[in-house]
Amino acid sequence: MGPKGIVGLAGTLIVVLLVLSSVYIIPETHRGVLLRFGELIETDIKAGIHFKVPVIDQVRRFDVRVLTSDLPSKQYLTIEKKPLDVDSYIAWRISNVDEFYRATGGDELRAQSLLSSRVDNGLRDEFGVRTMHEVVSGQRDELMHTLRDRVNETSVTEFGIEVLDIRVKAIELPGQVSDNVYRRMATEREKLAQEFRSRGREAAEGIRADADRQRTVILAEAFAKAEELRGEGDGQAASIYADAYSSNEEFYSFYRSLEAYQNTFANPEDLMVIDAQSEFLRFLKNPMGTN
């Protein structure tokens, strides 16, 4: 290849490089700004193929999709002056590329720092006017919505950033406070358990006393009933004996004497000294019971 060919090839390469350096592409998910010697000359460049002056123009691209940023854990005081450790995150996107670049220089870390500062101040204010119960459960959603609207109002106008959501991931008591709360809860539960035990013992004593009283009453009534029945039975027996005696006095006398003999002489070792002429022995001397 001769000198002219080399010069022509070099010229062609230079032209190609100039053309390539004059063309730039903005992806669908991004927006761009064009700088000339560091000065902003075009903003909010849409997706597609665009041209610029080689060397002296510079293109900056910014992701306009929804981005999430975890905020550092911070401690806030409730209206009762109780400290809470709060972990949160923020969902945001660039709504105005021009304002975003002017406010942050196109640095996402700078944008996150600005938003974090706004959210930190907002959380401190919102927690400071609410109780622990309200920030944990009672008014948590209301708190987040209020804070999002406040931060979004300033971030849109000042930074070109739209805040879509602010959420608290976790709310915890500090370690020492958690231990104190746990001990206080344990003490309260133990006190409540002792109260229930005392009420149980009192109720048990009352039940036992009532049961003993009912037992005494039932036994007394049973004894009285038994005595009444026993008296009726003895009366009926006496009546039967009387009827039997009156129907055959001699046989009844003989039968009663035999019972007396049986009971008296039941034990062979017993010794009885008695007059032979005693009425008790009359049936032993004479089966007819006559003297």
Q: For residues 211-222, give the mean pLDDT.
A: 91
**Are 155 and 83 in a shared domain?**
yes
pLDDT in the model for residue 9: 64
Q: Is residue 233 part of a domain?
A: no
State which of 62, 89, 113 marks the end of a domain.
62
State which of 116, 140, 172 marks the end of a domain.
172
Taking the CA atoms of 127, 131, 135 and 138 in sequence, report the sign of the dihedral they define.
negative
* Residue 93, pLDDT above cutoff 90: yes
Q: For residues 43-71, give the mean pLDDT.
A: 89
pLDDT band at residue 94 under the 50/70/90 scheme: very high
* Residue 32 belongs to domain spanning: 3-62
**Are 31 and 74 in a shared domain?**
no
**Are 95 and 31 in a shared domain?**
no
Q: What is the pLDDT of residues 165-191, one digit of tens each?
A: 999 888 887 766 666 667 778 888 888
* Residue 162, pLDDT above cutoff 90: yes
**Are 71 and 162 in a shared domain?**
yes
Report how many domains make up the chain.
3
pLDDT in the model for residue 159: 92
Q: 108: which 2 tokens?
A: 């996402």
Question: CA–CA distance from 102 to each of 26, 33, 109, 115, 203 (Å)?
Answer: 20, 11, 14, 15, 78
Q: For residues 181-202, give the mean pLDDT.
A: 86
As a whole-number percent, the residues of the chain with pLDDT over 70 amount to: 81
Hey, how many other C-beta atoms are within 10 angstroms of the C-beta on 92?
A: 22
Q: Is residue 264 part of a domain?
A: yes
The region that residue 2 occupies, defined by phi over 0 for left and psi between -120 and 50 for alpha, beta otherwise, is beta
Closest CA to 68 of 111, 30, 26, 104: 111
Q: 286: which 2 tokens?
A: 């004479």
State which of 125, 149, 172 marks the end of a domain.
172
Give the predicted TM-score (pTM) of the model.
0.56
Least confident among 21-35, 41-55, 165-179, 253-267? 253-267
Question: Cα separation of 264 and 251, whole Å?
Answer: 20
* Residue 64, pLDDT above cutoff 80: yes
Contacts 24+ apart (CB under 8 A), 65-68: 65/29, 65/93, 66/91, 66/92, 66/93, 66/164, 67/91, 67/92, 67/93, 67/108, 68/92
Q: For residues 250-262, give the mean pLDDT.
A: 72
pLDDT in the model for residue 272: 65
**Are 167 and 79 in a shared domain?**
yes
pLDDT in the model for residue 1: 58
**Are 41 and 9 in a shared domain?**
yes
Q: Are 100 and 40 in contact (CB under 8 A)?
A: no
Q: Is residue 254 part of a domain?
A: yes
